[in-house]
Amino acid sequence: MDDKEQISLEEQPTPTMNGVETTPSPSPEELKQQRRLIIIASIAGVILIAILVLAVIFLLQNGETTTTIRDIFIIFMALEFMVIGWALVILVIQLARLVNLLQNEVQPILDSTNEAANTLRGTAEFISENLAEPVVKLNSYGAALKRLLEILKVAR
């Protein structure tokens, strides 16, 4: 076999399907790691469900404790809703400031950039028409004259 025919694993191109590169299959070590993660997540879910079931059973046995825990939970929920309300107010204020910034700061910058681009476009057209075009014509006339002189020299 030639050296060109031997391609190492590092130099092999990535497999493609209909012109789209596909990812290689995961290695056995990656598969083991994924399985471990799935098993740990499953065990954590089962433990969480067991704790919830035990909490419900405990709360159903003692009515006075359940009432106290319920009242405390309602208070915490009210406090949480207040914090969320303040966060939403701050978010709306920040959003209004962003809109104001876009209208009053960014829009004029975009307008001046657009104006500069239009000026540059006009300058490029002016230079093309008044400088580049005559130079190209002069060069073409010079090339034609040079060719004519070459033809006349050969004809002598």
Residue 53 counted as domain residue: no
Residue 76 counted as domain residue: no
Instruction: Provide the whole-model pTM.
Output: 0.40
Residue 79 counted as domain residue: no
Residue 111 counted as domain residue: yes
Q: Domain span at residue 94?
A: 90-156
Average pLDDT, the chain: 84
Residue 115 counted as domain residue: yes
Residues 88-110 have pLDDT tens digits of 999 999 999 999 988 888 888 88
- Indicate if the pLDDT at residue 156 is higher than 60: yes
3-state secondary structure the chain: CCCCCCCCHHHCCCCEECCEECCCCCCHHHHHHHHHHHHHHHHHHHHHHHHHHHHHHHHHHCHHHHHHHHHHHHHHHHHHHHHHHHHHHHHHHHHHHHHHHHHHHHHHHHHHHHHHHHHHHHHHHHHHHHHHHHHHHHHHHHHHHHHHHHHHHHHC
Predicted local distance difference test score (pLDDT) of residue 9:
46
pLDDT tier for residue 135 given thresholds of 50, 70 and 90: confident
**Count of domains forming the chain:** 1
Residue 120 counted as domain residue: yes
The percentage of residues in the chain with a pLDDT greater than 70, rounded to a whole number, is 85
Vertex 96 angle, CA 94 and 97, to 5°: 65
